[in-house]
Amino acid sequence: MFSEDTILLFYEITDVIIAGLSTGSVYALMAVGMTLVYGVTKAFNFAYGDFFNMGGYFAWILIVGLGLEFGGYPVVLLIVMPLLFAVGYGLEKLLVAPLRKRKDWENKVMMMTLGLALFLTSLYMVVFGVRMKSLPPILEGTWEVGQLVFSYQDIMIFVMSISGILIFAWVLNNTRIGMAVRAVAQNPVGATIVGIPKERIFATTFAISTVMVGFGGILLSQKWFINPNSGGIIMVKAWVVTALGGMGSIRGGLYAAFIIGMLEAFVGWMFGMSYGIIALFVLLLATLVLRPQGLRGKGE
Amino acid sequence: MLNVNNLNAYYGEAQVLHNVSVSVGRGQVVVMLGPNGHGKSTLLKAICGLAESVAGEISYQGQPIDHLSTDKLVNMGVAYIAENRELFPYMTVQENLKLGAYVKAARPHEKKNMAKVFSLFPRLKERRTQLASTMSGGEAKMLAVARGLMSNADFLCIDEPSLGLQPSLRLELFSTIKEINKQGKTIFLVEQNIPHIAELADKIYVMEEGCISFEGNSKEALGDKHLKEIFLGM
């Protein structure tokens, strides 16, 4: 019925879609973390992408560096996630919080996080060298349906990042701390009035976003390698997703992440990987010109 | 219950309050009157830890509170109800109220206070699943007062509750405030204008240009020539 070529094309396209879905899901996770920090603290975090690498490196230290043979990724996550939280919390308290008391603090925070990004990139190069590191797949093997082949790794990446987002959304909507975070985002003065310790919420939010992007780093580094210089481009990608989705909208971020994941995968498949990035910027420019508020700006 | 002694407050370079001293006794309703922009709100904010730079003594139940942060004050039982409400726009009425009970001291009483607040403001009960941003000005005002009550505070600082309300709603709100006072809360209230307020107040202060220019009960206030001039134009 179909020619061999058509069937082959069908398989290839399926592969591309799966790749797009798995990277897209991690982009979604990263965008949610970014929109969270921006929504709550109203300051842009330029070091965001370097926390992605931090997650990757922490996992690499445990798995490859120390060569620990234990329960694998579940144990790694159990150790790395609290560590990322602590790093995020500490950095916010140490570097960002003191600036917030000053005049024109938004710009100062931007400069500070930009400095932090450069510092972390250099730190990674000194400690881990410029050569890229790789992480073993979270789950090896494939799942075959007829002639279609799905790698367990892609499936796991998708499942884990979507679970991460769902857990985050649940916490945000159903717990006291989640309510406090939303309260600060919606009205910082109102939050102060009801007795929410705003400073602590800022630090907690920063820490949660560090965990989210670092978790994304652990997931994607299995496919992409860990590169000390990649923080900038990761941050830009998270930002493109956030801008397309609409600043402050979690649902918009989800849509945007999958659109971008797919776009990147298809352009990469058709023209080569480096064109994927170009496509991303074209999309960003088009968004800013045609629909600056994003898919779903404002709210939530 | 609350004592303010020689308080000075600044907004940038400008001094907003000059040696202000005020005292509020337990169970009282004390009203601070005065024209707009003369420092009344700043005084309330200073008491509640929300003003920028303040010098002087503020004590609550004998303890100095002038350097405490707002969350500690709310936990001690001092709540602030803002003139412009400061609600959480994308949350429901019920969520706004729940957040009113955020501090530790309020949590065990959340259910009881929610029931109390709904009986004081039946309209809020009807609208409990509605987003705060979709409420009318009067309802939002009620929600702000109700959220303050959820903190289980004994001492409520209310900043211009009647601002922007039509006269009938204003009366309704004042009678609710009287009711809240009867239930045992001490109230320190700021208003611009004298009508309706006099019968509510146990004590009246007037602030002009950052100084206290009058202190007395409502009878004295209503008989005062100067006050009549500034408030009633007589």
CA dist A35 and A279 (Å) reads 22
Contacts of B88 in chain A (CB under 8 A): 182-183, 186-187, 190-191
**pLDDT at residue B3 greater than cutoff 90:** yes
CB contact under 8 A, B88 and A196: no
Tell me what pLDDT residue A35 has: 87
State whether A179 and B89 contact (CB < 8 Å). no
* A274 inside domain: no
Structure tokens at B219: 């009878």
Tell me whether residue A268 is in a domain: no
Q: Are A196 and A180 in contact (CB under 8 A)?
A: yes
CA distance B150 to chain A (A): 9
Which two three-digit tokens encode residue B174? Answer: 């004042």
> Is B131 an interface residue toward A (CB < 8 Å)?
no
**A281 part of a folded domain:** no
Alpha helices (H) in chain A, listed in sequence order: 4-41, 48-60, 73-91, 97-100, 105-128, 152-174, 176-186, 188-193, 198-224, 231-245, 250-271, 273-290
At residue B233, the pLDDT reads 63
Mean pLDDT of chain B: 91
Cβ neighbours of residue A114 closer than 8 Å, sequence gap 6 or more: A46, A47
Q: Across the interface, which of A182, A183, A197 has its CB nearest the CB of B71?
A: A197
Tally of CA atoms within 13 A in the half-sphere of A52 that contains its CB: 35
Chain B residue numbers with beta carbons less than 8 Å from the beta carbon of A174 are none
**Residues with Cβ within 8 Å of residue A63, at least 6 apart in sequence:** A76, A135, A136
Predicted pLDDT at A299: 43
* Contact in structure between A248 and A35 (CB atoms under 8 Å): yes
Residues 183-242 on A with a CB inside 8 Å of B are: 183, 186-187, 189-197
Cα dihedral sign for A192, A196, A200, A202? negative
What would the two tokens of residue A261 be? Answer: 């994941």
**Residue B191 Rama label (left phi>0; alpha psi -120 to 50; beta):** beta
Q: Which chain A residues are within 8 Å of B94, Cβ to Cβ? A: none
pLDDT for B43-59, tens place per residue? Answer: 999 999 998 888 999 99
Q: How many CB atoms lie within 10 A of CB A7?
A: 12
Least confident window among A112-121, A128-137, B123-132, B219-228 = B219-228
Among candidate residues B192, B218, B150, B201, the one with its CA nearest the CA of residue B28: B201
Residue B160 structure tokens: 């211009």
> What number of other Cβ atoms are within 10 A of residue B226's Cβ?
11
Chain B touched by A97 (CB under 8 Å): no
* pLDDT more than 70, % of chain A: 97
Helices marked H in chain B? 40-47, 70-76, 93-100, 110-120, 122-126, 137-150, 167-182, 218-223, 225-227
State the pLDDT confidence band at B167, using cuts at 50, 70 and 90.
confident
Q: Does A68 touch chain B (CB under 8 A)?
A: no
Number of domains in chain A: 1
Rounded CA gap, B73 and A87, in Å?
31
Residues ≥6 apart with Cβ < 8 Å to A29:
A161, A164, A165, A212, A213, A215, A216, A219, A257
Mean pLDDT across chain A, nearest whole number? 89
Q: Work out the minimum CA distance from B124 to partner chain A, whole angstroms.
A: 18
User: Chain B window 29-58: which residues touch A at a Cβ cutoff of 8 Å?
Assistant: 48, 50
User: Looking at CA atoms only, how far is residue A159 from chain B in angstroms?
Assistant: 30
Task: Please report whether residue A150 resides in a domain.
Answer: yes
The distance of Cα A190 from the centroid of its chain, to the nearest Å, equals 30
Domain that holds residue A138: 27-230
Residue A290 lies in a domain: no
ipTM of the complex: 0.90
CA distance B197 to B170: 10
Q: Please tell me the predicted confidence (pLDDT) of residue A205.
A: 95
CB contact under 8 Å between B86 and A193, yes or no, is yes
Query: Is A11 domain-assigned?
Result: no
| Pairs from B135-139 (Cβ < 8 Å, separation ≥ 24) | B135/B93, B137/B164, B137/B165, B138/B165, B138/B166, B138/B169, B138/B173
What's the rounded Cα separation, in Å, for the pair B114 and B98?
8
In a domain, A160, yes or no: yes
Residue A67: its H or E element: none
Q: Strand, helix or coil at A206? A: helix
Interface test with A, best of B88, B91, B131 (most A CBs within 10 A): B88
Closest residue in chain A to residue B147, using alpha carbons only: A194
Asked whether residue A71 is assigned to any structural domain, the reply reads: yes
Q: Is A11:A148 a contact under the CB 8 Å cutoff?
A: yes
pLDDT per residue over A5-15, tens digit each? 888 888 888 88
What pLDDT does residue A297 have?
65
